[in-house]
Chain A
């Protein structure tokens, strides 16, 4: 991550569009945007060769704030759109941005299957345990006793555990980052882009408006105490028992990524008429 920039290399700011984000002052997502642009500069990529794909929610506004190609789709469907794009255009670098509502609730099924499918995507989920854009409803990662207008007595539901579910679904690479450390995030994102296959990066990204207590996360986070494992059984035990604030790479598999498009055509469509001709 400390590699010197080549003379013509772009700076992180060259990856920003300059549009003013809709986010609240103090939102963790600003730092995720910074982490993304730093990583792209570190990787010496050109913005036109990068696509940022998202669904709906605060986190999903990221594409237009970058200078890359962006796809801001419908709620919950960022992973399928990104999958289609990456399979059809394997030479592009494809980042997927999502949040805990978009990615774990409405898009939950795609999360499972993206982990299984292992397309070469970097999946960044900004988790703040709340629906921010719709102004403060509980998400799948919200604590069961958190009170809100929609769930005045709390949801009473057990929190969704994204990292465990990712592991169980066959994810090949699982990491957790914190928006309070943009340089650390940039390093994780750069590693994710270099990694061939699906890389799931859960980012603790506080919502200072609806979950102001999350400002305390900066005291709670700490580097993961042990090196990443490639043993899913060991990873499962660690992820089931960690405090939710271990930062770093937590699981590292070695499955080959899914690719799709045939390298070169062997026939023209007209050639296939022989299948029907009498």
Chain B
């Protein structure tokens, strides 16, 4: 078959079948062979034994978006895998690999017109002592997409602590099975460059450290837990610590306490946890204590679908606090950007003495990708600290709104940080003038922020603009790449404070705007409508999670619009 620049494969099975292990090895093999790639994951709600699928894309170009269709769906078994049908779209040219001993593939997959290729995974694995069917499937998949066996072997060596020989032998059996099948082939890999293999959660954790965070308090929650599990040992290495708190109320307040002590602090959570943290974030605003919350969004409301992605926490992140509470909201717009966006959020929080919320999501957080090594500058945004001084006023009304912050231990500048309204010195005050002056100050320091070019990613030129944020950016980028010219992308990274003048400039000459977001009510569209002037006709392309937008959907939307315009 003619080589293509991208191939997508999925490996599914019930829990314990090792699909994630095999998927990670396949991604690593692709990376070692010089390709870019991405693996996202989906799973049922079971703690153990539920169905799971690793969804991979191997490509000659950097991507963190899924393709329109999977070329191969392989399953160790078919138990409950049909539940993922919506997330695993196939096409007539696709191949379904299944073990005939596990029965026929569900009709929900075969009706796509995909070819079924039975491979006795279990029987083949059974020929080798200590081998498992997932490793046979790994070999089959590598063979079907034209990866070299050497790369599979190298990946297995990196990943497997025990059973390596049997594993490699099993993969080899699968690989040779694939050689007799008509599969797919990838174009030659691009020339080599410095790359990382990283998940969005690891990226956000690393970004936090690069931003200067040395204290983290957190409560476990899907899909943010891996971020915390990465940070726990990493913080210890850089002289910091992670405290597991009794709940999210405690974690945000611990972070505020540590930050009040002068140590840049962060917590990570998902929607239900963010909801619990909101009161304390208001304290951070009023008492001017920097803190960062990474919200790895999952579907809501309430417990929602804990394991699946949605961009529906935008409203609470922007507007959740009571009172007028100016703060920062930042959204990474690629998996790799989780590093820079989180580091930036730490810098903004520290330099403006304000809470910052980072809106990541399950899609980024739990996806692993081969990315070009991010180029990170040294953190230059730092907290303005008070030197010991006569007549120190913690909440002094400065021109920028930023007042020097005294750190406990500093002589002569002791003050009480307070969520009560206060005067310049920090003494509680219920006077109208103090309230107005402090409200103005807190608003001023956030609104005077000059984010430079970092506020958005602006790509392409055209009379049609796509406005989006977060993990919807990948599919839009790819749709634009396929469509050729005529479309401009504006993917917002700084959601609060809004940058109306910058967007106005970015949209000069634009006649229509497509707003792309992954939630039910159009939270991003409403936000844009309230904060910005949008030129010309505005359309909304949106749906709730967990299905990611496919590039072709976005492209078709743009094409149809241009034809009817």
A interface, CB within 8 angstroms of B: 19, 46-49, 51-53, 63-64, 67-74, 76-77, 79-89, 91-92, 109-110, 112-113, 260-273, 275-278
In the complex, are the beta carbons of B414 and A68 less than 8 A apart?
yes
The 9 A-B pairs at the shortest CB distance, nearest first, are namely A70-B416, A84-B257, A84-B254, A265-B239, A88-B258, A81-B257, A80-B253, A260-B241, A84-B258
Taking the closest CB of chain A, its distance from the CB of B265, in whole angstroms, is 7
Whether B235 pairs with A63 at a CB distance below 8 angstroms is: no
Q: Is the CB of A77 within 8 A of B418?
A: no
Give every chain A residue within 8 A of B217 (Cβ-Cβ): 80, 83-84
Task: Tell me the bound Cα distance from A67 to B416 in angstroms.
Answer: 9
A92 touches B261 (CB 8 A): yes
Known contacts A113-B246, A276-B206; is-contact A72 B279 (Cβ 8 Å): no
**Option from A19, A85, A270 in Cβ contact (under 8 Å) with B408:** A85
With known contacts A70-B417, A83-B243, A278-B370, A64–B427 Cβ distance under 8 A: yes
Q: Which of B100-108, B190-198, B348-356 contacts A (4 or more CB under 8 A)?
A: B190-198
User: Is B283 touching A74 in the complex (CB atoms < 8 A)?
Assistant: yes
The one of B257, B259, B282 that contacts A82, using a Cβ cutoff of 8 Å: B257
Contact with A along B91-114 (1 / 0, CB 8 A): 000000000000000000000000
* B420-448 interface bits toward A, Cβ cutoff 8 Å, 1 = contact, 0 = none: 10000011100000000000000000000
A72 to B259 Cα, complex, angstroms:
14
B240 adjacent to A261 (CB under 8 Å): yes
Residues of B at under 8 Å CB distance from A? 31-32, 194-198, 202, 206, 209-210, 214-215, 217, 234-241, 243, 245-247, 249-251, 253-263, 265, 279-280, 282-283, 287, 370, 373, 406, 408-420, 426-428
Given A89-B408, A278-B32, residue A84 in contact with residue B238 (CB < 8 A): no
Q: Is the CB of B280 within 8 A of A262?
A: no
A218 CB to closest chain B CB (Å) equals 31
Measured CB to CB, the closest approach of chain B to A107, in angstroms, equals: 9
Q: Are B414 and A112 in contact (CB under 8 A)?
A: no
Contact B234 A272 (CB under 8 A): yes
> 21 pairs across A/B with beta carbons < 8 Å?
A64-B428, A69-B414, A69-B415, A72-B418, A73-B280, A74-B253, A74-B279, A76-B249, A80-B245, A80-B257, A83-B243, A84-B215, A84-B261, A88-B259, A109-B250, A110-B246, A262-B240, A264-B239, A266-B237, A268-B238, A269-B206
Q: A80-B249, A278-B31 are in contact. List 19 more A-B contacts (CB 8 A).
A: A47-B414, A48-B412, A64-B427, A71-B287, A72-B417, A81-B260, A83-B257, A85-B258, A88-B214, A88-B215, A88-B241, A88-B263, A109-B247, A110-B246, A269-B206, A269-B209, A271-B237, A276-B206, A277-B195
Cα distance A267–B210 in the bound complex, in angstroms: 12
The residue among B253, B259, B413 with the most chain A CB atoms within 10 A of its own CB is: B253
A49 to B210, CA, bound (A): 29
Contact across chains for B250 and A110 when beta carbons are under 8 A apart: yes
Q: How far is the CB of A90 from chain B (nearest CB, A)?
A: 10
- A69, B240: Cβ atoms closer than 8 Å: no
CA of A273 to CA of B257, assembled, Å: 29
Q: How far is the CB of A159 from chain B (nearest CB, A)?
A: 23
Given A81-B260, A83-B257, A89-B263, A262-B235 contact (CB < 8 Å): yes
- CB-CB under 8 A for A72 and B254, given A262-B237, A277-B196: no
CB of A13 to closest CB in B, whole Å: 15
| Cα distance A88–B260 in the bound complex, in angstroms | 10
**Closest A residue by C-beta to B234:** A272
With A269-B238, A272-B206 known to touch, is A77 a contact of B243 (CB < 8 Å)?
A: no
Assess the B256–A81 pair: CB atoms within 8 A. yes
A72–chain B nearest beta-carbon distance, Å:
4
Q: CB distance A71 to B260 under 8 Å?
A: yes
Closest Cβ neighbor of B267 among chain A residues: A84
B194: A residues at CB distance < 8 A: 277
- Which residues of B lie under 8 Å from residue A85 when comparing CB positions? 257-258, 260-261, 408
Q: Contact at B239–A262, with CB atoms within 8 Å?
A: yes
Neighbouring A residues of B418 by C-beta, 8 Å: 64, 70, 72
Partner of A276, one of B196, B236, B243, B258: B196
Complex CA gap A82/B417 in Å reads: 13
B192 → A minimal CB distance (Å):
9
**Which A residue's beta carbon lies closest to that of B247?**
A109
Name the B residues within 8 Å of A273 (CB-CB): 196, 206, 373
Given contacts A72-B420, A89-B263, contact A83 B239 (CB under 8 A): no
Min CB gap B537→A, angstroms: 43
The residue of chain B having its C-beta at the shortest distance from the C-beta of A111 within the complex is B246
Q: Are A67 and B243 in contact (CB under 8 A)?
A: no
A85 to B562, CA, bound (A): 57
A272–B237 CA distance with the chains assembled, in angstroms: 9
Cross-chain contact of A84 among B32, B209, B243, B415 (Cβ < 8 A)? B243
Give bound CA distance, A110 to B246, whole Å: 7
Contacts of A260 in B (CB 8 A): 241, 243
State A128–B122 Cα separation when bound (angstroms). Answer: 70
Could you tell me the distance between the alpha carbons of A81 and B287 in the complex, rounded to whole angstroms?
A: 13
| A77 B253 Cβ-Cβ under 8 A | yes
Enumerate chain B residues within 8 angstroms of A261, measured Cβ to Cβ.
214-215, 239-241
A69 to chain B: closest residue by CB? B408
Which residues of B lie under 8 Å from residue A68 when comparing CB positions? 414
Give the residues in chain B near A263, CB-CB below 8 Å: 239
CB distance from B36 to the nearest CB of A (A): 11
Among B263, B280, B415, contact of A70 (Cβ-Cβ < 8 Å): B415
Name the residue of chain A whose CB is nearest to the CB of B242. A260
Contact check, A87 vs B243: say whether CB atoms are below 8 A apart: yes
A260 to chain B, nearest CB (A): 4
- Closest CB of chain B to A109's CB: distance in Å? 6
Question: In whole Å, how far is B249's beta carbon from the nearest beta carbon of chain A?
Answer: 6
Contact A89 B261 (CB under 8 A): yes
Which of B243, B258, B416, B427 has its CB near the most chain A CB atoms (within 10 A)? B416
Q: Are B197 and A88 in contact (CB under 8 A)?
A: no
A70-B417, A80-B249 known; A269 and B210 CB under 8 Å? yes
**Cβ-closest chain A residue relative to B257:** A84
User: CA–CA, A88 to B264, complex, Å?
Assistant: 10
Cα distance, A64 to B262, chains bound together (Å): 19
| Complex alpha-carbon distance, A269 and B417, angstroms | 30
B416-A63 in contact (CB<8A): yes
Nearest CB in chain B: distance from A48 CB, A: 5
* Cβ–Cβ < 8 Å partners of B427 in chain A: 19, 64
Residues of A within 8 A of B414 (CB): 47-48, 67-70
